[in-house]
Amino acid sequence: MGETAPRQYVPLTCHGHSRPVPHLSFSPLEKDDVYYMISACKDGNPMLRDGQTGDWIGTFLGHKGAVWQARLSPDASTAATASADFTAKIWDTHTGELLFILQHEHIVRAVAYPFDRSDLIATGGFEKKLRIFDLQEARKQGQPTDAQGIAQPITIEPSKAFEIGEGVHKEAIKFIVWARDPSIIVTASGDTLRWFDIPKRECIREAKLDGEIKSCELVSLAPSYTSQTDIGGGLPVLAVAAGKTAYFWGGMRADEELKQMKLSHGIASVGVDLKNRKIVVGEEPGTWARVYDWEDGKELDVHKGHHGPIWSIAFSPDGNLYATGSEDGTIKMWKNCEGYYGLWRGGVSNNNTD
């Protein structure tokens, strides 16, 4: 090729969506190191995939508008999706069946589960209201059936949810993160991050950032992969992209400032490699992902291949790969370890120009 060989393995490309992919996320690690990936898409059809290979498992059919966000529950038994059709929906990941319809009065942009419970879900969106729905409580009311006696999804009205921090948000809630401490929840709205105390139902801290928040994710590794030498000391790290700055918070409450990294370009999304101490950002404007060293901010690599901005970057629970979701409607999976892994066979040596 006449130049130094790329350090990066060829990415896997996941097709199937027909519109932009604004969000993707991984499940926690299950037994035998199995995990899953779910993608939200503006085509209204969120997809579940094998996390290691990207192989399609199923599509959750039933939204009547763009799906902005999708997450898997801590036990991976359910998936939550946030949609422009004024609902969030909860699905059975094994059967694809719709279990719950969480009604809203405007577009839903964000959903989040706590770390250790699959029966609570937080939602937010254009109503500017942070709500927590208790699925277990709703289940106690019994399962509705149709005229033929077939079980129907349980519909929960917005009035049945708990609202946290009433009147605090002035703009749409785009992201919600549940801290490792289950009493703390974080929202991204406009250019402001807010931390809420759930038992008190009030905002306890605000941070105004370098521009509109474009991505906000809690990055964590499975417990068997964590180490005190990781970024965050073995705890999850809150990674936020706003303007030209990537922000990172750590600790049980995701409120201890670890770092701010100011870049020369706008940032559409950010992920952090806790183990290898690197950050990955989707540039904006642009279509490339850039990899930087955590310590000194030096650029280590550039990933080319997408044909639209990268809106979401997610690391697998073992840290061995990360996925990027783009405006171009594709998901790319990038290997982040040496040797054999998933569908990648063998390593890349310095003289390999594949």
Sign of the four-CA dihedral 179, 46, 328, 3: positive
Asked if residue 145 is part of any domain, the answer here is yes
pLDDT band for 7, please (50, 70, 90 cuts).
low
Residue 4: pLDDT above 70?
no
Asked if residue 346 is part of any domain, the answer here is no
Domain that holds residue 216: 12-335
Asked if residue 344 is part of any domain, the answer here is no
Average pLDDT of the segment spanning 168-185: 98
Q: Are 195 and 142 in contact (CB under 8 A)?
A: no
Asked if residue 117 is part of any domain, the answer here is yes
Token pair recorded at residue 33: 């190191």
pLDDT band for 348, please (50, 70, 90 cuts).
very low
> For the ranges 7-11, 128-132, 275-279, which has the lowest average pLDDT?
7-11
Q: Which residues lie below 8 Å from residue 122, measured CB to CB, with a gap of 6+? A: 110, 111, 112, 113, 130, 131, 132, 133, 164, 176, 178, 185
Distance of CA 268 to the CA centre of its chain: 14
Q: Which residues pair with 196 in a beta bridge?
A: 185, 203
Asked if residue 352 is part of any domain, the answer here is no
Asked if residue 345 is part of any domain, the answer here is no
Asked if residue 59 is part of any domain, the answer here is yes
**Order of all β-strands in the sheet with 256-262:** 213-219, 237-242, 245-250, 256-262
Mean pLDDT of the chain: 93
How many independent structural domains does the chain possess?
1
